[in-house]
Chains A and B, each alone.
Chain A
Amino acid sequence: MLRVRTEIIWQGTLPFESNESLKGEPVEYHHDLQSYFWLAFLITCNCAGPFNTRRDWNKEMELSQSGQPITPALIDALAEIKTQGGDRENVALDQALNSKEPQCSDAFLPFAINYQLPWVRPGVHTLSPGEIVNQREHMTDRDFRNLMTPYFARHPAVLEGILELRTLFLGPTKVHGDRFERNHPPSEPVTHHKMLSILRRIRDTIVPEDDTYPDETFLAKARERYSRSLKSGNRMPLMAEEDEEEEGSKKPGSKKRASASGVNISSKRGRKTRGAMK
């Protein structure tokens, strides 16, 4: 006898899809704009520096669970070690705990990050579209701000601009009796003009001296990383889960095997199947 089981396969670029699209509503032009907004926000959550410096969520959450206070300096250090290499067990903690730059004390002030919102992290593909919409709609302003990496959050222009964009797409926040802050959808669709004016304002109001270009050592290492990716063709999408830590030792086979067992389609792979699977 043959046993038959049914599974649901989702299509599209899940992490960036608009709420309307995730709900299966007809796609309209402003939903593409909403996707750009989610892309902007997810970059501010997952990039901890310039030139493809990725946040080390796993280590960060591991430390948080073991009681380690999470500070901006710690997030920066973990990301740097993840991207550039190094002894992350020791260096990260050393850097975070032993202040090397006592003058900028903010970097060593612990702050509360809500790790219960997995839609902003790699691994989002295990969530159902409904869950993603739910998490997006019920995020508090504080969670929204605190999930951004310190690299972005230190600029008031970015914090304000991204929150303004959220209001633009999801409507203004309203506090209800329960602990969630619910949003009301905007009455009019977002125009390109409106969105562009906010993006440009963020760019124009960032203080250039606070947004410095990296030094030559960092640039040289970044060029090396880019060379490697050009050689291998291994491009890690922003929201794809890594199964190996070292870029050099990637084994595509193991990933394929993992995806064979379940509906685990990374953003890039999921993207490629849009419109193809009927």
Chain B
Amino acid sequence: MRRTVIKSLNIQITTLTFKFKDECTNITDILKPTRRWRAFDREQVEKMRNPDIVLVKTETETVKWVDVISTVEVKWRDQPDLLQKAIGQLADIAALVFHYQPFRQWFPCLSLCGASLRMSVFTRGGSLHTVPLDLHKDVNLFTEVMNYFTQAKDTWLGYDWGIFRENGQRWDPGVANPTAAMEMYRPIGKLFISTGVFHPHIQVDYCNLLTRFMLGLYGKGTRVFAVQGKSSRRDAVIKDCWDPSETVSDEAVHLKLQDPHRKWLDPANEINDHSERDFALQYENSSPYTDPWDDADRRFLRGVTIMEKSMRPRDPLWKGTTPAPPESIRSISAAMGYSWDVSNGPIILDDRHRHRTLFRTCGVDILWFGTVRELFHALAGAVVGEQCFVSSYSSFPMFLLGHRNAYEKRDILHGDVSDGNTLMLVDRISPESAVPKPPQNAPKGWTPLRHGMTSDWGSAADCREEEDKERLRRTVSSQVLVHAEGED
């Protein structure tokens, strides 16, 4: 088994190296490497961690976290506690790299314990570690691995410049006439950056030594950016995350939330609660805003964030002739060297799927309320957002409802209310909209009254699906942490 995995690793890396060489048309590219491995000794990166060996661009002098391409942790001997320590240190470094490099999707790095070289690949949503290759027995492969790191394309090492390239973000790459349909976005700020939770993996079915104490980053690795459309000049929000499945995602929930046909109710019986908007207008002292929910098609629910577009980033490591498949941990892992043949070993990771969603509604956290009145105004607005679904049913004639309880009448249940998911609507994402300027000669009791809304429907449940409802239920999951205290 072990031999097969090494072989698989060997083949993958060899293939990539060949591919690299094929693509290098200019011989000077090979002669002048643009990256180099540097022994780091006691030097620290920005006074935080000191990796043993670090891969940076040749011209880099003082190494900052933004410069770190990869690292190697070196231990004197190949034994479980030292390996575990090395992987823990790598995970720690990966978290810092992800924090300082928002465009980084995965972080491949190495541990060298005695003569055993292992590759670890951390993503924002999970990690994998290969079985070792022996330095003394396979010098060629060792050289190839090291060369791969110095010579591979940026995208192969986990850089996705798509979000933050100078010319911004492009949606939708699949369209027939790209220039007409594509909108570009330039970043204007970061609303939330998660590095993923440093977390011991759940591992029950032990197969090889390494998977027994799998450590890594774990979570959705959500990043939320404020952007501005280049042609529309409108502000928008881009959310990029690793979802636990292809079906549970912001996109899936918003398609349902924005589907007017999901209502089985006669529109005549519908309650349209506009109280918050009307209240703010009546006071004439709120900063004016365009009402994003006022649409003729009745697609948008008041108080619910509006998804404009969504995309699934493609796998940059894809080597086939067909269009690249959507990016997932599994696709990265397969390309980076781990064999996913189930008979070959246990599935060591949750597969996770990358999703990117664009929202046209911009918001600031509810904690940025300007007065007590505005806080309760915004809370009411966020609660209404859900009421659109419920109140319409409760206004339904009782003889039709019978004794079915409200639970069965729900369609979408958010299931995850928090301060970060409760926003106030603004036109632009800027310090001036987060902290509004009062109008000239404002009366003493003036207050801004921004409309509340509920965001982040990514883990909401469709109450027409029993499975979804069960997912929201709190489960006590016991987890096994394995502490290696020597080999058995």
Contact = CB atoms under 8 A, between A and B. Distances in A.
A206 to B, nearest CB: 5
A102 interface: no
The B interface is mostly helix, strand or loop, or mixed, namely mixed
A213 B190 contact: no
B350 interface: yes
A275 B371 contact: no
A8 B366 contact: no
Interface string A217-238: 0010011101100111111011
A57 interface: no
Contacts of B391: 192-193
Interface string B327-370: 00000000000000000000000100000000000001111111
B162 interface: no
B400 interface: no
B28 interface: no
A13 B414 CA distance: 12
Interface residues of B, number: 107
A5 interface: yes
Interface residues of A, number: 97
B3 to A, nearest CB: 24
Nearest to A275: B459
A50 B370 contact: yes
B414 A52 contact: no
Contacts of B14: none
Interface string A132-153: 0000000000000000000110
A9, A25, A151, A195 interface centre (most CB from chain B within 10 Å): A9
A257 B99 CA distance: 14
Interface string B209-247: 000100000111111001000000000000001001000
Contacts of B474: 10-12, 17, 21-24, 27, 129
B386 A272 contact: no
Contacts of A13: 416-418
Interface in B37-62: 48-49
B370 A4 contact: no
A175 interface: no
25 contacts: A11-B475, A15-B418, A16-B417, A21-B474, A25-B473, A29-B406, A32-B417, A36-B379, A36-B417, A43-B375, A51-B434, A161-B376, A189-B406, A191-B406, A192-B387, A222-B435, A226-B435, A227-B431, A230-B191, A233-B102, A235-B365, A237-B418, A256-B92, A274-B415, A278-B350
Interface of A: 1-13, 15-17, 21-30, 32-33, 35-36, 39-40, 42-43, 47, 50-52, 129, 151-152, 155, 158, 161, 189, 191-193, 195-196, 199-200, 202-203, 206-209, 211-214, 219, 222-224, 226-227, 230-235, 237-239, 251-254, 256-257, 259-260, 265, 267-269, 271-278
Interface of B: 48-49, 88, 91-92, 95-96, 99, 102, 188-195, 197-199, 202, 212, 218-223, 226, 241, 244, 248, 273, 275, 279, 350, 364-373, 375-377, 379-380, 382-384, 386-387, 390-391, 394, 405-407, 410, 413-422, 429, 431-432, 434-435, 437-438, 442-448, 459, 461, 469, 471-486, 488
Sort A-B residue pairs by CB-CB distance and give the 9 closest, nearest first.
A208-B445, A233-B190, A230-B189, A233-B193, A35-B417, A223-B431, A203-B376, A238-B419, A192-B387
